[in-house]
Amino acid sequence: MSYKPIDFLDERLGTAKFTRKSLNKIFPDHWSFMLGEIAMYSFFILLGTGVFLTLFFVPSSAPTVYHGSYAPLDGHVMSQAYASTLNLSFNVRAGLVMRQMHHWAANVFVAAIVVHLLRVFFTGAFRKPREINWLVGSLLLMLAILEGFLGYSLPDDLISGTGIRIAYSITLSVPVVGSYLASFLFGGQFPGDKIIPRFYTIHILLIPAIMAGLLGAHLAIMWHQKHTQYKGRGRTEKNVVGIAFWPAYAMQAGGFFFLTASVIAALGGLVQINPIWMYGPYIPYKVSYAVQPDWYMGWLDGALRLFPSWEIVGFGHMIPTIFFPAVLLPGITFGLLMAWPWIERRFTKDSQSHNLLENPRDNPWRTSIGVGVMAFYMVLFFASSTDVLANTFNLTLNFVLWAFRILVFVIPPIAAFVAYQLAKEARSVPLAGTPRKAMVIFRSPGGEYTTEESEPRSELVLKHSVFHGEEPLPLPEEARIHGQEVQTPVLEEERFVFSAPSAVAVVSEEIGERPSGGSGVYRIPRGAPGAGGGLFSPRGPRPASDGEDSEDEE
């Protein structure tokens, strides 16, 4: 294999140093850190399937007479948007599965963003120095919800058309500027023939571009600031303990991408979503009962349903009822969300930087506030299906509505109180959060069994494979690269006893003192032993510094 192209780039751009540094980047390994990855991979799938859909979708409200293969709509006048969606679903090879994957991926995308946000909130990962990434992430959530609504609206079917009508009314309800805003957005009165092409441009061009940029910034800031980690042995505010980007983390992340893709592909192929052919084209005088938005708009729909029909008059002008649940509520919601790091700091007076995460039980106040707020939005979310619940459980619609109007005030304080008590209780448990010791069973050659309580697993992992120290690792000697004797037999044994501490090196990286990068970065000169595979040579656990290494060689 020739390295000439790599050398060419390296000698001109100095890429090797950067690449080596990047490949050695340490990521803390915890399953809860992978929630954001689900969102990112869903975003990639959305881009891919979305590009496919644009090849066949016609973003036009111009009427056309349908004579396609879906017989129940034969001869109907409909918009070209709806007709092309029917065509895409029934006559384009793999069109329906692409559309369903796109829709399922959107549902999973927003859901993954929300659980990622909850993880960041409840572990305090938004604290200094990561407030900027909190803002970027909040913006991404807002844009994802908006983007989902626009995409849901594009097929111009009876259900989504009703959603656009609601959006028009909400826009109108804004005091002073509402009628102008609605007129600008829709190019006149609802429905008009402008809104589908405009939504299309915003949906496929404007918002995805902004989201891609914000996602890049989100990752770059995380890369630069380094990922937070949970408390544990050997983990401090000044280091990162985890696995190297290459090969361990890259393989893990790549595998997770394929798993995400496979779940979304399976849903798209096996479970029907949004069968628009059953809804028929949108015609303003027609309406179907039981219209819900996609789940991530559910809390807004629920708020619209629950809010009493008050008509508040101020300065001689009436503020329409829907302004409060549909404009004010999301405004307050996202405003408080983005301001939260500063709100919390006002109370904690904590201006320190934090790289170690808190367990939710460590901070009962934040946990209880978060649970209470979450409960509030959960109630609103369920309130968006009042009619379905009433019908399913044979209750009257009015009873369900009033039950939710009461529950929306009753459940959040109860949930917050219970969360506070549980967090306090969990904190008082002795040794809470410390790893349990494993019981090691030995068999002597004579067949006798003895047991021995081990050191905690995490300690063993650290002892054998963590590099502490500020200096870059010394260049490994030949014997250490190729010789089996320095590969610690102790670890081999542990694999059986402890079911593999980790297949990959756990190394730490310093934070803070150095302006960028970190220690533990070294480059093997060309020609030196161990340089055979270049950047992509497999590396096992790195030999630790001398002091700790001696223990392994016993």
User: Which residues, 75 to 134, sit near other proteins by CB under 8 A?
Assistant: 75-76, 89-97, 100-101, 104, 107-108, 111-112, 115
Using CB under 8 A as the binding rule, the residues of this chain from 23 to 62 that contact other proteins are 28-35, 37-38
According to the binding rule CB under 8 A, does residue 462 interact with other proteins?
no
Contact between 315 and 111 (Cβ < 8 Å): no
**Contact pick of 257, 307, 334, 420 for other proteins (by CB under 8 A):** 257
**Contact pick of 538, 546, 547, 554 for other proteins (by CB under 8 A):** 538
Greatest distance between any 2 Cα atoms in the chain: 97
Please work out, in degrees rounded to the nearest 5, the angle formed at the alpha carbon of residue 120 by the alpha carbons of 119 and 123. Answer: 80
Instruction: Choose one: 16-24, 363-371, 406-414, 494-502; the region binding other proteins (CB under 8 A).
Output: 494-502
Instruction: Choose one: 68-76, 127-135, 195-203, 320-328; the region binding other proteins (CB under 8 A).
Output: 68-76
According to the binding rule CB under 8 A, does residue 464 interact with other proteins?
no
According to the binding rule CB under 8 A, does residue 454 interact with other proteins?
no
**Nearest distance, CB of residue 125 and other proteins, angstroms:** 15
Q: Give the separation between CA 165 and CA 142, rounded to whole angstroms.
A: 21
Nearer to other proteins, 93 or 346 (CB): 93
Nearer to other proteins, 91 or 421 (CB): 91
Helical (H) or strand (E) element with 26: strand 26-27
What are the DSSP E strand ranges found in 50-113? 63-65, 77-79
Nearer to other proteins, 72 or 314 (CB): 72
**Contact pick of 54, 179, 391, 421 for other proteins (by CB under 8 A):** 391
Using CB under 8 A as the binding rule, the residues of this chain from 259 to 278 that contact other proteins are 259-275, 277-278
Size of the site for other proteins (CB under 8 A): 110
Using CB under 8 A as the binding rule, the residues of this chain from 215 to 244 that contact other proteins are 230-232
Q: Give the separation between CA 304 and CA 383, rounded to whole angstroms.
A: 9
According to the binding rule CB under 8 A, does residue 169 interact with other proteins?
no
**b/e per residue 438-475 (b: at least 16 CB within 10 A):** bebeeeeeeeeeeeeeeebbbbbbbbbbbbbeeeebee
Nearer to other proteins, 159 or 544 (CB): 159
Among 553, 547, 540, 543, residue whose Cα is nearest residue 244 = 540
Nearer to other proteins, 274 or 368 (CB): 274
What are the DSSP E strand ranges found in 274-375? 312-314, 317-319
Instruction: Choose one: 139-147, 397-405, 445-453, 465-473; the region binding other proteins (CB under 8 A).
Output: 397-405
**Nearest distance, CB of residue 361 and other proteins, angstroms:** 13
Name the residue type at position 113: I
Beta strands 439-443 and 317-319: pairing type? unpaired
**Nearest distance, CB of residue 230 and other proteins, angstroms:** 5
Per-residue DSSP letter, 228 = -
Using CB under 8 A as the binding rule, the residues of this chain from 308 to 347 that contact other proteins are none
Using CB under 8 A as the binding rule, the residues of this chain from 280 to 299 that contact other proteins are 280, 283, 285-295, 298
According to the binding rule CB under 8 A, does residue 158 interact with other proteins?
yes
Instruction: Choose one: 10-18, 182-190, 254-262, 418-426; the region binding other proteins (CB under 8 A).
Output: 254-262
Establish whether the linkage from the previous residue to 456 is cis, with ω within 30° of 0. Answer: no
Measured between its terminal Cα atoms, the distance across the chain in Å is: 39
According to the binding rule CB under 8 A, does residue 503 interact with other proteins?
yes
Nearer to other proteins, 35 or 327 (CB): 35
According to the binding rule CB under 8 A, does residue 70 interact with other proteins?
yes
**Nearest distance, CB of residue 303 and other proteins, angstroms:** 16
According to the binding rule CB under 8 A, does residue 540 interact with other proteins?
yes
Contact between 484 and 520 (Cβ < 8 Å): no
Among 28, 229, 215, residue whose Cα is nearest residue 140 = 215
Count Cβ atoms within 10 A of the Cβ of residue 513 and give its class: 0-12 exposed, 13-18 middle, 19 or more buried.
exposed
Nearer to other proteins, 174 or 400 (CB): 400
Q: Give the separation between CA 461 and CA 363, rounded to whole angstroms.
A: 29
Q: Give the separation between CA 128 and CA 341, rounded to whole angstroms.
A: 8
